[in-house]
Amino acid sequence: MPDATLAEPTLAPPRRPSVRFMLSHPAHLIALGFGSGLVPLAPGTSGTLWAWLAYVAMQHWLSPWLLGTIVALSVPVGWWACTVTARNMRIADPGAIVWDEVACFWIVLWLLMPAGLAAQAAAFVLFRVFDMAKPGPVGWADRYFKGGGWAGGFGIMMDDLVAAFCTLLVLAFWRHWA
């Protein structure tokens, strides 16, 4: 009979996100965008839309200082939440994790506002295109920073931070040349 202690460990299958999973840990609730990441089709777009709506709502009730503080804290909190949730889902970058879209689109909106609906919609479309198509530097960040362990959440968020930067760069050029 073979020694069980020498057997290779079996890897558990990835966990599917659910409302129960989301509510089982505060990090899951944050990383899954308070449920917006549970949408089965295009969760990243759903998370970005939720971020837009949440930002507009917060803008009406919070002071500019408090709103800026929340936006600034959303990145390190997201790093933690995405790391914990990805580890618990046993997937390096699960599609249901949308806090990367939320925090990074909040950065775009925080720097863009005040802006009209057309500029906000353009920012939304640009951000989604950069995040989904991953051209140039966004694709590089996606490939270079992926991984598990303590850096897992950072890798999940890094390509979206670059997508936010690219979105802001295009909007700045558009504003300057328009």
* pLDDT tens-digit series, residues 147-169: 766 568 888 999 999 999 999 99
pTM: 0.88
Q: Is the pLDDT of residue 7 over 50?
A: no
Is residue 158 domain-resident? yes
Please state the domain count of the chain: 1
Is residue 94 domain-resident? yes
Q: What angle do CA 77, 78, 80 make, to 5 degrees?
A: 70
- Supply φ then ψ for residue 25, to 5 degrees: -160, 140
DSSP 43: H
Is residue 134 domain-resident? yes
Percent of the chain predicted with pLDDT > 90: 75
Is residue 8 domain-resident? no
More confident residue, 169 or 175: 169
Residue type (1 letter), 93: D
Q: Is the pLDDT of residue 5 over 70?
A: no
Is residue 101 domain-resident? yes
Is residue 67 domain-resident? yes
Would you state the pLDDT for residue 91?
A: 87
**pLDDT tens-digit readout, 45-92:** 999 999 999 999 999 999 999 999 999 999 999 999 999 999 999 888
Mean pLDDT of 16-31: 95
Would you state the pLDDT for residue 153?
A: 86
Is residue 2 domain-resident? no
Query: Would you place residue 4 in the very low, low, confident or very high pLDDT band (cuts 50, 70, 90)?
Result: very low
Report d(CA 69, CA 75) in Å as an integer: 11
**pLDDT tens-digit readout, 75-134:** 999 999 999 999 999 888 889 999 999 999 999 999 999 999 999 999 999 999 999 999
Domain limits at 103? 16-177
Report d(CA 116, CA 166) in Å as an integer: 20
Query: Would you place residue 2 in the very low, low, confident or very high pLDDT band (cuts 50, 70, 90)?
Result: very low
Is residue 63 domain-resident? yes
Q: How many residues does the chain have?
A: 178
